[in-house]
Amino acid sequence: MSMGKKKEKEPEPFHVIHKVPSGDGPYVQAKHAQLVKKDLEASIVWFWKAINAGDRVDSALKDMAVVMKTLHRGEEAIEAVKSFRGRCSKQAQESLDNVLIDLYKKCGKVDEQILLLKQKLRSIYQGEVFNGKPTKTARSHGKKFKVTVKQETSRLLVIILLFLITSLLFSAILAGNWTC
């Protein structure tokens, strides 16, 4: 019996190591600028190019909004999402709503946030969420998990409740009815 050499494992491709998509389109360039070069301003320029070129528009718009939020450009991100969400697929709309809710929170736009949360609750009660399915697969911090309609309803109600409590406390502090 001959002893064969151990097969050396080939190195992982660059896009796998750095968790960026493969290819060379504007969206890939944006993710490269964001994740590899750590040049967030350049990534925004590339995300805009991707949106205008129709290259992974759903992902480009969401990712650009998150980068803008990181750079304290939340107001601009809100306008971008509101202006360009029409170019995104129906499946991306719920995710864009979640991005907007987060941006509204970051920018202190409580009324807009509560209005959008109420719209989301209304669509749940009308059976318009999860494309008519009882669960959806969600992602958070790179992990996938199942979310039921009941869990999503509870999550939205908790967010609304926290805002209402915060608003009441803030009003009481401003009115001088609260002391520490």
Q: What is the pLDDT of residues 96-138, one digit of tens each?
A: 999 999 999 999 898 899 899 999 888 888 877 777 778 888 8
Other Cβ atoms closer than 10 A to 130: 16
Flag whether pLDDT at 23 surpasses 90: no
HEC per residue, 91-151: HHHHHHHHHHHHHHHHCCCHHHHHHHHHHHHHHHHCCCCHHHCCEEEEEECCEEEEEEHHH
Give whole-number Cα distances, 160 to 52, 75, 130, 175, in Å: 35, 21, 21, 22
Q: Residue written as tokens 């528009």?
A: 57
Structure tokens at 53: 């070129």
Taking CA 72 as the corner, what is the angle to CA 66 and CA 75, rounded to the nearest 5 degrees?
Answer: 80
Rounded to whole angstroms, the Cα distance separating 86 from 160 reads: 26
- What lies within 8 Å, CB to CB, of 162 at 6+ separation is none
Better pLDDT: 128 or 151: 151
Contacts of 178 (CB under 8 A, 6+ apart): 169, 172
Overall average pLDDT of the 147-155 stretch:
90
H or E, element range at 136: strand 135-140
Q: Is 125 exposed, middle or buried (0-12, 13-18, 19+ CB in 10 A)?
A: exposed
* Under 8 Å between Cβ of 159 and 146: no
**Residue 21: CB partners within 8 Å, gap ≥ 6?**
15, 27, 28, 31, 56
Kindly report, residue by residue over 33-66, the tens digit of the pLDDT.
Answer: 999 899 999 999 999 999 999 999 999 999 999 9
Task: Give backbone dihedrals phi and psi of 159, rounded to 5 degrees, phi first.
Answer: -60, -45
